[in-house]
Chains A and B, each alone.
Chain A
Amino acid sequence: MSHGPTPRPAPSSDGAGRFSGPYRAPRLASAVAMTAAVFFGCTFIAFGPALALYVFTIAIEPLRVIFLIAGAFFWLVSLLLSSLLWFIASHITENKDGPTQKYVLIFGVLVSVIIQEMFRFAYYRLLKKASEGLKSINPDESAPSMRLLAYVSGLGFGIMSGVFSFVNTLSDSLGPGIVGIHGDSPQFFLNSAFMTLVIILLHVFWGIIFFDACEKKKWYILLLVLLTHLLVSTQTFLSPHYGINLVSAYVIMVFMGIWAFFVAGGSCRSLKFCLLCQDKDFLLYHQRSR
């Protein structure tokens, strides 16, 4: 796959063994070759859970697939809008040198997160109207519940976000080259894959929490979701220090996951019964016996 020259990140294809100084030799020894193994490994790390969620929960029902794609479309439109704002900002400040472009980029990231959450809210409104429409036409047929739509929309946002962030890097990882020759981290692809995974899962959880908060009209929760999203995005500014970045993102994801679980109606008891593979009848029986 040949691409034109684009400003792609670190991996350099200088396989001829370019000599770098002795202080860099230890890093060179740990340089990693890009191969199909890296490609497949990173693909499955980043998109495996999302693919599993899609296959087991979304693909069975055509309406869910449509809502997923519509969610992806909404995310895409939000990205378009934020790219437009970034583009305008970067062109206004084009002639100024120094760290201005970096500030414009940070501005772009913040604006993008805010616009994404705005579009999540807009999608919620659209789904609410569509739900009501479906109910009025088909009163006996059960339209998908808002919780399900929250999950589907979160997954749509997440998949699109993950794909857009990672697919170009993935296609580069197939090509010839060695990561880390110029002193960058050799774990570039792995880090990106894990980050993509955490972003996808976070979008799912944020979607569930967000929609539930909108249903119950608890607006402060929307603000919390926005703040955690901003936190996760701004943490990525610490980019070369992968450890802190990734670990805290995963910690936030675990918290969000637990919160979404309880918001979606789960409880410790239902979790226990699910893990012990005990079915609903047993649960009902257990309740009756109290």
Chain B
Amino acid sequence: MLTFMASDSDEEVCNERTSLMSAESPTPRSCQEGRQGLEDGENTAQWKTTFSFSFLISKSLPYITSSSCGAGTPWSSRCGFPQRSQDSEEDCEEDPDHYDCSAVPGRPPGLEEELTLKYGAKHVIMLFVPVTLCMIVVVATIKSVRFYTEKNGQLIYTPFTEDTPSVGQRLLNSVLNTLIMISVIVVMTIFLVVLYKYRCYKFIHGWLIMSSLMLLFLFTYIYLGEVLKTYNVAMDYPTLFLTVWNFGAVGMVCIHWKGPLVLQQAYLIMISALMALVFIKYLPEWSAWVILGAISVYDLVAVLCPKGPLRMLVETAQERNEPIFPALIYSSAMVWTVGMAKLDPSSQGALQLPYDPEMEEDSYDSFGEPSYPEVFEPHLPGYPGEELEEEEERGVKLGLGDFIFYSVLVGKAAATGSGDWNTTLACFVAILIGLCLTLLLLAVFKKALPALPISITFGLIFYFSTDNLVRPFMDTLASHQLYI
């Protein structure tokens, strides 16, 4: 759930928890550990982890907001509310995001609520699918590629080792690691909020680009290398270069500029998975669990408290009526501009809307009304000098940090100890139910909410109880071939 990060220095970790921020560029990490021996491994591990952490933080925006959560939020005040006509219900089957939008900001609140709940289930599924995909990628990698379960150094943010003789010492070290990690995150979040408040958009934007660059090229290269090693597939350097270059370049374009929504979503899922894998590798066991717990508490505080950094960030963005960076948040909806919208001068520059209406062919059918003439009928009278507004489809946005931490939890459950599948599945179901409850609360409260606390709490409870209670029971049953 966190923030932005991208900087050239070692310690650039920007914690910004906001699901509204665009993708941050991860700080560069060099991930060459394990290739040059252990002492080198330590150094590069440190280096890498610094970067990966900052990237993580930048990518982790733990909060969910509904993009059209009501008349209160400024940027959604220009959103259309979806309104399905009765006869078009049947046609809409194949296109779930098919809405007949009419820009009516002054809709009565009761109808709005009904629409919210009516479309709520669809949005829940629109978030279930990417979260599930990210977890599947992480679990599949953990179970097959040994590299991500090998211990090879630790992040510099978790300096205390867990190879201590006594349990108390180990617990103390993990708590200290957590404290350091959380304080780094807090500092970075505040730094990011300050940057945003003072409109240092170029800095933020550059940072984001640097971090995405690192993630898309370096981490992908390492991941690909490890996967090829695991399956003993030879690949020559020119092919490798071509593959990584294409993957990375298309990723940069999709995330930071324009691209098909599905491709952008796929890239965001992939980078979240890569980030989560790095965390799973570099966080020591007990520290990982304590950090997960502490980060959900921090998330709750940062998003809900009036002076919380993320809340301030969201409010600032709302005041300035700026669109959200698409690259730091997974968006389940499509955003497009119709024709030539007059953008707010303050929102120029880095905060551009990434999508073209030409890309979103699916949604064209949804406009039956003449209020969106430019796309379909350029000669429609009645709107000669009208400022065209952006139409944003109802959707839910989830910060990449949420993806990352959910995947860290499930990945750790898959990686540690017994390699039991039941534990992994239990954590998976628990996280999905937590997400469902969070989205229900979102529909009720209609403001940005932290996505981590409920899911991570359920996940942690189910992890520990399944690992210690259910696993022996099911193993005993299975060994006697009993069924309950």
Contact = CB atoms under 8 A, between A and B. Distances in A.
Interface string A103-130: 0010011001100100000000000000
Contacts of A80: 462, 465-466, 469-470
A2 B128 CA distance: 29
A161 B484 contact: yes
Nearest to B144: A1
Given A4-B417, A83-B469, A9 B479 contact: yes
Nearest to B469: A83
B470 A83 contact: yes
Contact of B475 (A6, A73, A191, A192): A6
B478 A76 contact: no
Interface in B84-116: 113-114
Contacts of B421: 167-168, 171
Contacts of B477: 105, 108-109, 165
B419 A2 contact: yes
A73 B483 contact: no
A236 interface: yes
Contacts of B462: 76, 80
A239 interface: yes
A138 B118 contact: yes
Contacts of A3: 418-420
B433 interface: yes
Interface stretch (A21-29, A61-69, A213-221, A264-272): A61-69
B429 A72 contact: yes
B474 A236 contact: no
A138 B84 CA distance: 15
A237 B125 contact: no
B117 A137 contact: yes
Given A76-B429, A232-B483, 20 more contacts: A3-B420, A6-B418, A8-B478, A62-B122, A66-B121, A69-B436, A79-B473, A80-B466, A82-B473, A83-B469, A87-B473, A105-B482, A109-B482, A138-B114, A141-B118, A163-B425, A167-B422, A168-B475, A169-B478, A236-B481
B479 A109 contact: no
Interface string A184-207: 000010011001100100000000
A239 B420 contact: no
Contact of B113 (A105, A137, A163): A137
B388 to A, nearest CB: 32
Given A62-B125, A239-B482, A138 B417 contact: no
B464 to A, nearest CB: 11
Given A65-B125, A137-B114, A237 B418 contact: no
Given A73-B430, A84-B469, A195 B114 contact: no
Contacts of B480: 9, 105, 239
A6 B422 CA distance: 13
A236 B483 CA distance: 6
Shortest 8 CB-CB distances between A and B: which pairs? A3-B419, A62-B125, A62-B121, A83-B473, A63-B121, A239-B481, A83-B469, A112-B484
Given A165-B478, A165-B483, A232-B483, A1 B432 contact: no
Given A70-B433, A141-B118, A164 B474 contact: yes
A83 B475 CA distance: 11
15 contacts: A4-B417, A4-B418, A9-B478, A69-B432, A76-B429, A76-B462, A79-B473, A83-B472, A87-B469, A138-B118, A160-B429, A164-B422, A165-B483, A168-B475, A188-B481
A168 B422 contact: yes
A7 interface: yes
B84 to A, nearest CB: 11
B475 A165 contact: no
A269 to B, nearest CB: 29
A13 interface: no
Contacts of B307: none
B429 A73 contact: yes
B143 interface: yes
A267 B466 CA distance: 43
Interface string B445-467: 00000000000000000100110
A39 interface: no
A164 B471 CA distance: 10
Contacts of B481: 9, 188, 191-192, 195, 236, 239
Nearest to B128: A65
A35 interface: no
B426 A87 contact: no
Kindly name the residue among B117, B432, B462, B470 whose own CB sees the greatest number of chain A CB atoms within 10 A.
B470
B478 A105 contact: no
B415 to A, nearest CB: 12
B316 interface: no
